[in-house]
Amino acid sequence: MHQPIYKFLFGAFAFVLGAAVGSFLNVCIYRWPVDLSINRPRRSFCPNCKQPIPWHQNLPLISWLVLRGRCANCGAKISFRYFAVELVTALLFLAIWQNFPWQVAIAYWVFVSFLVIGTFIDFEHFIIPDRVTIGGVIAGVVCSVAVPALMQTDSPLAAGVRSFLAAALGYVILLIVLEAGKIAFGRKRIRFDAPTPFTWTKRGDDADFVVGTEESLWSDYFAREKDRLLLACNEARIDHHTYGNVTLHFRYDRVTAEGHVMMLDDVTQISGVARELVIPREAMGRGDLKFLAAIGAFLGWRAVLFSLFAGSLLGSIVGLITLVVGKPVWSAKLPFGPYLAFGAVTWMFFGEIFLRWYGTLLNP
């Protein structure tokens, strides 16, 4: 008679706890990519006016709805992402609590917290910080030792070993994909329909690189020290040096023009008109390798394979839709971490169903 009441109360607690955790995850998502401490300042603040937000205006889910997504102090718009993170985390916490034993559920709460942080940072900044990936691997091994059921065993030692090996498998598989992709598709050649103006402007330790209407950071093109970028120009100007028909050979820290090497630290601006561009590119970022390793540390080797397959499938579908619907942009980047996270969550809830379905295909 009382069981439905207890079930409702514990479910409500899981949802509220998830929303509260989601509020904290928002702090990590905002601060970690820009190297801000999550402890200082302790209170959340408006991204626009920087004023601390009092507790009664920082209630998970409720405050964003009541304030209609705006700061109560300056009226600036607060991104929908804050509400979305809290809602997604709350729903995941509730679903996990309803589908798994409590020990496993607590471990999975830790896991999805890492997934949510990595997913939203990757969407916004196209990076996954080591605090998420390496931290996720460590947390996965520790949780597996504490809750061996995560690795389908009763032995903490066996669970720890399996967790570590699954993490290594996830890293190695994507490392092979990364290196093979670099060999096969490591350069992209863009021929412009008409001569196109470009500028390279130094900005601190980086630079702004603008070609036509497309703007990007210089560091976006150089994942490896040996990467080269080539710019075939009708004319070019490097500070006070002017060149006619020339191909500029760039490394991250230097440029070569007609055999003359100049360090980019000594250059303020490069401009001109280009007819062709050859850029280095990677199949994915190295953060994705460690992200899949963290998935393996929590879910095991089968989840590594499934997450890679499901993430690649979903990423390909989204990429094709973007290509068909949107305007082609040669400098566009697609985050892969969110698709890996999708595969991991799908495996958590439907992995056994998938295995049974796949087994019937092999043995009808």
Each domain of the chain, given as residue ranges in start order, spans 1-94, 100-183+283-364, 187-280
Pairing of strands 241-243, 214-217: unpaired
Rg of the chain on CA atoms, in Å: 24
Q: Which of 68-82, 109-123, 183-197, 315-329 has the lowest mean pLDDT?
A: 315-329
For the chain, give percent helix, strand, coil, nearest 5: 55, 20, 25
Look at 27-31, 185-189, 192-196, 254-258 and tell me which has the smallest mean pLDDT. 185-189
> Which residue, 187, 206, 210, is CA-closest to 273?
210
**DSSP classification of residue 266:** G
Q: Has residue 1 got a pLDDT over 60?
A: no
pLDDT band at 271 (very low <50, low <70, confident <90, very high): very high
pLDDT number for residue 327: 65
Q: Is the Cβ–Cβ distance between 341 and 118 less than 8 Å?
A: yes
Q: What is the pTM of this model?
A: 0.89
Average pLDDT (88-109) is 97
The average pLDDT across 20-25 equals 96
Which of 99-103, 167-171, 268-272, 328-332 is least confident? 328-332
Q: Tokens representing 15?
A: 């949802």
Residue among 292, 45, 30 at smallest CA distance from 169: 292
Task: Pick the closest to residue 246 from 256, 348, 352 (CA basis).
Answer: 256
Contact 314, 343 (CB under 8 A): yes
- Cβ–Cβ under 8 Å, residues 156 and 146: yes
> How far is Cα of residue 283 from the mean position of the Cα atoms in its chain?
14
Region 249-273: mean pLDDT is: 94
Cβ atoms of 273 and 235 closer than 8 Å = yes
Tokens 């566009």 sit on residue: 332
Predicted confidence at residue 282, as pLDDT, reads: 86
Indicate the average pLDDT of the chain. Answer: 91
Structure tokens that stand for 91 in this block: 């729903």
Measured distance CA(109)–CA(189) in Å, rounded: 44
Note the pLDDT of residue 328.
66
**CB–CB of 294/219 below 8 Å?**
no
Contact predicate 347/307, CB 8 Å: yes
Instruction: Please compute the mean of the pLDDT values over residues 198-207 and round it to a whole number.
Output: 93
Q: 139-173, pLDDT tens digit by residue?
A: 999 999 999 999 999 999 999 999 999 999 999 99
- Give the range among 33-37, 135-139, 157-161, 261-265 with minimum mean pLDDT: 33-37
- pLDDT confidence of residue 265: 92
pLDDT at 22 (0 to 100): 96
The residue among 175, 119, 127 whose CA lies nearest residue 341 is: 119
> What is the DSSP annotation of 76-99?
PBPPHHHHHHHHHHHHHHHHHHHH
Q: What is the Cα–Cα distance from 244 to 226, expressed in whole angstroms?
A: 27
Predicted confidence (pLDDT) at residue 331 exceeds the cutoff of 70: no
Write the single-letter amino acid at 94. L
Kindly state the average pLDDT of the residues 208-236.
Answer: 93
Residue 329 — very low, low, confident or very high, per pLDDT cuts 50/70/90? low
